[in-house]
Amino acid sequence: MFELSPQHWTAIELSLRVAVVSTLVAMPFGIGIATLLARTSFWGKSALDALVHLPLVLPPVVTGYLLLITFGRKAPVGAFLADHFGIVFSFRWTGAALACGVMAFPLMVRAMRLSIEAIDRRLEHAAATLGANPVWTFATVTLPLAMPGIIAGMMLAFARALGEFGATITFVSNIPGETQTISAAIYTLTQVPGGDAAALNLVIVAIFISFAALLASEWLARRAAARLHGA
């Protein structure tokens, strides 16, 4: 009974690829912005904070449309990236990854920022008295202590990327084999007669992946916390 067509296997593989790539690429930016927001004060900080959170509040279709008119093949940034670096987003899986990364970014930054804010700064002062400059202090004290929050942020981003639908379909459409993720494939199946059984199979796969990701992140976070507190 449980059978998936090659096209749907491709959708599963694509969903995983898009979620993993968007999470990994967003991570360094997330850590950077989270640190900036947690640790510094500068003119325009609230504006940056609002900008980061915007994808959480905007309808995903709006975010997708904004990406389209910014990173499309003929749009200014999209054309520049294509001509100078050969990076094309429109109607490619990389565009889906970009959309997922943007949509997941606020959740990622939030979790990371909270964990960085929770770190006892007196430990960083102790590192400084021991000769660690700010970069080394960040790498050897701040980052390791923030690790549980960084893992949580990446997990949230991964989950958000798996579930992303609106921004992706608006930006890069729903092309089987290129931009059709699990969500888009399920949506397509519900639009055709007799697609219910296949849709249900994909739903089961989606539930399975989400569950596995949750368990894995729980395990990782617990391990990281145990390492911090001496096991």
Partner 1 sequence: MAGQTSGGTAARGLNMLTVQVEKQLGGLSVNVAFSTQGSATALFGPSGSGKTSVINMVAGLLDPARGRISLGDDVLFDAKEGIDVPVWSRRIGYVFQEGRLFPHLSVRNNLDYGRWMGGHKHDAREFDRIVAMLDIGHLLDRRPGKLSGGERQRVAVGRALLMRPRLLLLDEPLASLDAARKRDILPYLVRLRDEAHVPMVYVSHSAAEVRCIARRVVRLDNGQVAEIGGTELLDRQQPDMLL
CA torsion 135→36→171→217, rounded to 10°? 70
Is 40 near partner 1 (CB under 8 A)? Answer: no
Q: Is 227 in the site for partner 1 (CB under 8 A)?
A: yes
Q: Please, what is the minimum distance in Å from the beta carbon of residue 148 to partner 1?
A: 11
For residue 126, state whether it binds partner 1 (rule: CB under 8 A). Answer: yes
Q: Exactly one of 145, 152, 167, 199 binds partner 1 (CB under 8 A); which one?
A: 145
Candidates 6, 42, 85, 229; binder of partner 1 (CB under 8 A) is 229
Nearest distance in Å: CB 5, partner 1: 48
Q: Does 127 bind partner 1 (CB under 8 A)?
A: yes
Segment contacting partner 1 by CB under 8 A, of 49-57, 178-186, 198-206, 223-231:
223-231
129 binds partner 1 (CB under 8 A): yes
Q: Which of 25, 114, 128, 220 binds partner 1 (CB under 8 A)?
A: 128
Does position 197 interact with partner 1 (CB under 8 A)? The reply is no
Q: How would you write the chain as a 3-class SS string?
A: CCCCCHHHHHHHHHHHHHHHHHHHHHHHHHHHHHHHHHHCCCCCHHHHHHHHHHHHHCCHHHHHHHHHHHHCCCCHHHHHHHHHHCCCCCCCHHHHHHHHHHHHHHHHHHHHHHHHHCCCHHHHHHHHHCCCCHHHHHHHHHHHHHHHHHHHHHHHHHHHHHHCCHHHHHHHCCCCCCCCCHHHHHHHHHCCCCCHHHHHHHHHHHHHHHHHHHHHHHHHHHHHHHHHCCC
**Distance in Å, CB of 135 to partner 1, minimum:** 10
Near partner 1 by CB under 8 A: residue from 59, 76, 144, 177: 144
- The residue (of 21 and 127) whose beta carbon lies closer to partner 1 is 127
Any contact of residue 131 with partner 1 (CB under 8 A)? yes
